[in-house]
Structure 1
Amino acid sequence: MKTAAIIGGGVIGGGWAARFLLNGWDVRVFDPDPEAEAKLAPVLAQARRALPSLTDVALPDEGALSFHFDMAEAVAGVDWIQESVPERLEIKHKVLASVQAHCPPDAIIGSSTSGFKPSELQEGAARPGQIMVCHPFNPVYLMPLIEVVPSPATDLALVEKAETILRSVGHFPLRVRKEIDAHIADRFLEAVWREALWLVKDGVATTEEIDEAIRMGFGIRWAQMGLFDTYRTAGGEAGMRHFMAQFGPALQWPWTKLMDVPEFTDELVDLIAGQSDAQSGHMSIADMLKARDDNLVGMMRSLKANDWGAGAVMNAHEASLRAGTVLAAHADDLDDVSEPILTVRRAVPLDWTDYNGHMNEARYLQAFGDATDRFMALIGCDADYIATGGSYFTAETHIRHVDEVHAGAVIEVRTQVLAGAGKKMHLFHEMYEGTRLLATGEHFLLHVSLETRRPSEPSAGIVAALTRIASAHAALPAPDGAGRAVGQRP
């Protein structure tokens, strides 16, 4: 079991704690605030609701969470230490000195700082090579990007180890080539922020209008393609060279005020705050955070379906999770096939629920369809086999909805073979949350030739694997509900 120490349990530290905890790490939170545990609770609740929705395989069992007021107790024997204290260099130096006095010399010490360079953090440190910047983005439990910034004094072996760990919990580590104030992303955001302040101050736009310009326009493009690829496509077939030739001269025009900062007066603060309250003051912060997480999950799952951007990171993380599950890859991996076979183990994502707050009908079918696909792969009807021209088509389906299923529930589907011979395969799926039966799905399938689209004999390997399981399952009692029709009385 890996252990992470989170130094500072605020919004960012809490997000780090949630990311590690929900990926199976034990987490120790050090924070002198006696209310730290209570303040962290809503962050963990949001993470438990949202993070499992990103993947189509269940996350590991949560690690153990503990809270500490003694630094030595918090960092003893840990693998990762994440410092997320206030952005004051003297405070960070004091905290890092205390950490290094008590932590293992080979533990990773990452700082969440958004502005300081690692060489500044390392000043006066007992082991400067142990310290690096690992700058996250909020909410840390959902957003993939971590800017990993070493200094020339940082141990590169520790940097590589840190990047491996970050990938293992679903993050995307972006190593910054040269240390610089505010790293990469925040420098970019600072430029946009400065220009936005001028636009509001000069009466060109309100805070709401600026936000609409971002979220209705380029923000969507940036979310999936970034800046340079967006401009590359704007250049048409000629690409970036044409774009630069066409729009490059605009860089000489006095459009922006990036090097100037509006005077930060009480009047400007009142103007910005007042417009912001008018824009979204009808919502509580809790409601806004819920909407934010729901929107991020939906967008990131869309990217996941296309294996693009942040979605590709999620797919890689999911593949590592799947490799560590109890789901067998092939029937030959199962020594005992005398009981129904586990074919699905996952959390119900946020976008699977309907207006009643529970899983909608289409998603029951998707879960059972996933179970059928997994069983097909188990007996050898996988992507490689299908590419040769053979597959199973579902001819008939019957689903019974037994109990409610809500977002975040970890569901398991167990599959029993009712019949399997020749071209025919008859499966019965049972969906559970723990020991509670949620639904059953009965599927009848035929093996077909993808060339003729007609029933055909499966390969000898598939026949052997299916026959083995079907023969073992023949000794099981008929499951309750098998063979039922809609409206049929017990």
Structure 2
Amino acid sequence: MAQVAAIIGGGVIGGGWAARFLLNGWDVRVFDPDPEAQRKIGEVLDNARASLPGLYDMPMPAEGELSFCDTLEQAVSGASWVQESVPERLELKHKVFAEVQAHLDPEAVIGSSTSGFKPSELQQGAKDPTQIMVTHPFNPVYLLPLIELVPGDNNDPRAVDWAKTVLEQIGMFPLVVKKEIDAHIADRFLEAVWREALWLIKDGVATTSEIDEAIRMGFGLRWAQMGLFETYRIAGGEAGMRHFIEQFGPCLSWPWTKLMDVPELTDELIDQIADQSDAQSGMYSIRELERHRDANLVGMMRTLKARDWGAGAVLNGHDKVMNAQNVIPNSLADVADITRPVKTVDRAVPLDWTDYNGHMNEARYLQAFGDATDRLMLIVGCTPDYIASGGSYFTAETHIRHLDEVHAGARIRVETQVLLGEGKKMQLFHTMYEGDRALATGEHMLIHVDLKTRAASNPAPQVAAALSELATAHAKLPRPIGAGAAVGKR
């Protein structure tokens, strides 16, 4: 089947789904009778284009084609995935499913973004109940990886496996919930915290701002990278979880919480909460808050990525998937034409690479050129195994020329020309582009080093031969503008 996703309902969640599929190369058709749907999804897409690609160190697929449909039939005909994100009214969902299934390929999946309904409830009266399953995301869908995948008892395991594969291919983490339950797993935790927060406000204990500070300055940071039980395992010290439960378990019977009671949402309480929220965040528009949220999430998730931990491990896995589809060479044999500069970097500019001027920080140019050098080293055989055996290249001198600015979300590539590759020396000239526009150049002189003695040494014969072959081929290229230049010299 073609990679076509139909998005039914273009609100916050539906728009996030559209962005996630679209930026991962799927064609997306949207059906939403709201006359503002196209504008709203366009704004969500702007945020997604600036943030999602920057999570990865590989280029994302070419963006799919986005279209807005006048009817459900137009949206779902020929689609292999339908994502329903209409309001949480069961009768409305049943009506949508009936119309969708009248025009949908029987092999396609219908995923519901429902926060609370069980799959057995969604499937009631359906033409083919096995097609429908819960695929509950978290906002922003285009950044957060978790999907609660809840199949019904009668769902074909093969369809569930296929749905899991699709979600993984678009960079998500499908958590298969084996037993259906109201509100699935994650929302049950959120509901508990939400109930307690409402009581704290009603009883005059804390404001919306104070509650948010308690979360984001404390346990929220721990939960983001270790969850609940792993956090408490550490709290138990060397004795671990058993000691933690023995020490703090008795607290569960103390009257600390009003978890099972819900304060009546009177007009007075609603006004109190709304007024406090306005005082806390009313100086920002929703779009400004979204951009702050996205930038913070990207920064935290990239830190987790560097540690290969939590959501970061999911990103690393998706990088590997995209790397397999990429055209950046891993060896000299992968280089299609050694007489041309070699593409050594192809990626997006992350949000956390930008500075107070709104463009890429100068230190990140060096990072991108450093990544290009690492790739060229890999191409000539200076692999992790080679480095582990005791040989590597150290950078001795670098000169960067900043030619033009570039912003978050932009796709950049680096092409590398070998100026010298003989003896202990490797001299590289990198040029960074966005499309055909040159952004910067970086000239780097590297010296081969024996890692045991930390002294300069000749590379192994196979590395020397590969580097010499590339240098000889590149010697026929024009000498790049800026090569050998000093600061201020033109």
The TM-score with structure 2 as length reference comes to: 0.98
Listed as ranges, the matches of 1:300-319 within 5 Å are 300-319=301-320
1:79 matched to 2:114? The reply is no
CA displacement, residues 8-60 of structure 1 (integer Å, 9 cap, x when unaligned): 11110000000000011100001122322122111111111111111112211
Q: Which structure 2 residue ranges, 5 or more long, are not aligned?
A: none
Give the secondary-structure state (helix, strand or coil) at the position aligned to 1:182: coil
Listed as ranges, the matches of 1:342-353 within 5 Å are 342-353=343-354
Residue matched to 1:231: 232
> Which range moves more in the overlay, 263-272 or 108-117?
263-272
Asked if 1 retains the 8 angstrom alpha-carbon contact of 2:335 and 2:342, the reply is no
Residue matched to 2:113: 112
Residue 486 of structure 1: how far off its partner (Å): 1.0
CA displacement, residues 213-258 of structure 1 (integer Å, 9 cap, x when unaligned): 0011100000010000000000000000000000000111111111
Q: Distance in 1 between matches of 2:412 and 2:486?
A: 25
User: Counterpart of 2:314 in structure 1: which amino acid?
Assistant: V
Residue matched to 2:154: 153
Residue 177 of structure 1: how far off its partner (Å): 1.5
Residue matched to 1:402: 403
Q: Distance in 2 between matches of 1:379 and 1:143?
A: 37
CA displacement, residues 126-162 of structure 1 (integer Å, 9 cap, x when unaligned): 1111110000000000001000001111111111111
Q: Distance in 1 between matches of 2:46 and 2:336?
A: 39
Residue matched to 1:143: 144
Number of aligned residue pairs: give it. 489
Residue matched to 2:389: 388
Residue matched to 1:189: 190
1:298 matched to 2:299? The reply is yes
> Which range moves more in the overlay, 265-274 or 366-375?
265-274
Give the secondary-structure state (helix, strand or coil) at the position aligned to 1:143: coil
Q: Distance in 1 between matches of 2:156 and 2:35?
A: 35
Residue 75 of structure 1: how far off its partner (Å): 0.8
Give the secondary-structure state (helix, strand or coil) at the position aligned to 1:346: strand
Residue matched to 1:368: 369
CA displacement, residues 291-310 of structure 1 (integer Å, 9 cap, x when unaligned): 11111111111111111100
Give the secondary-structure state (helix, strand or coil) at the position aligned to 1:110: strand
CA displacement, residues 182-240 of structure 1 (integer Å, 9 cap, x when unaligned): 00000111011111101110111111111110011100000010000000000000000
Give the secondary-structure state (helix, strand or coil) at the position aligned to 1:408: coil
Asked if 1 retains the 8 angstrom alpha-carbon contact of 2:345 and 2:372, the reply is yes
Residue matched to 1:338: 339
Residue matched to 1:327: 328
CA displacement, residues 318-346 of structure 1 (integer Å, 9 cap, x when unaligned): 11111111101111122420000000011
Q: Distance in 2 between matches of 1:215 and 1:437?
A: 41
Listed as ranges, the matches of 1:233-248 within 5 Å are 233-248=234-249
% identical equivalent positions: 70
Listed as ranges, the matches of 1:7-156 within 5 Å are 7-156=8-157
Q: Distance in 1 between matches of 2:128 and 2:460?
A: 61
Q: Which structure 1 residue ranges, 5 or more long, are not aligned?
A: none
Residue matched to 2:206: 205
Give the secondary-structure state (helix, strand or coil) at the position aligned to 2:292: helix
RMSD: 0.9
Residue 485 of structure 1: how far off its partner (Å): 0.9
Residue matched to 1:453: 454
Q: Distance in 1 between matches of 2:385 and 2:126?
A: 55
> Which range moves more in the overlay, 438-447 or 460-469?
460-469
Give the secondary-structure state (helix, strand or coil) at the position aligned to 2:407: coil
Give the secondary-structure state (helix, strand or coil) at the position aligned to 1:416: strand
Residue matched to 2:170: 169
Q: Distance in 1 between matches of 2:406 and 2:36?
A: 34
Q: Distance in 1 between matches of 2:39 and 2:361?
A: 34
Listed as ranges, the matches of 1:428-447 within 5 Å are 428-447=429-448
Residue 405 of structure 1: how far off its partner (Å): 1.6
Q: Distance in 2 between matches of 1:431 and 1:205?
A: 51
User: Counterpart of 2:404 in structure 1: which amino acid?
Assistant: D
Residue matched to 1:481: 482
Q: Which runs of 4+ in 1 moved over 4 A?
A: none
Residue matched to 1:260: 261
Give the secondary-structure state (helix, strand or coil) at the position aligned to 2:209: helix
Q: Distance in 1 between matches of 2:271 and 2:55?
A: 39
User: Counterpart of 1:107 in structure 2: which amino acid?
Assistant: A
CA displacement, residues 72-126 of structure 1 (integer Å, 9 cap, x when unaligned): 2111111111000110000000000111110110111100000000010001111
Residue 401 of structure 1: how far off its partner (Å): 0.7
Residue matched to 2:276: 275
Q: Distance in 1 between matches of 2:354 and 2:292?
A: 15
Give the secondary-structure state (helix, strand or coil) at the position aligned to 1:180: coil
User: Counterpart of 1:282 in structure 2: which amino acid?
Assistant: M
Give the secondary-structure state (helix, strand or coil) at the position aligned to 2:400: strand
Give the secondary-structure state (helix, strand or coil) at the position aligned to 1:102: coil
User: Counterpart of 1:104 in structure 2: which amino acid?
Assistant: D
Residue matched to 2:287: 286
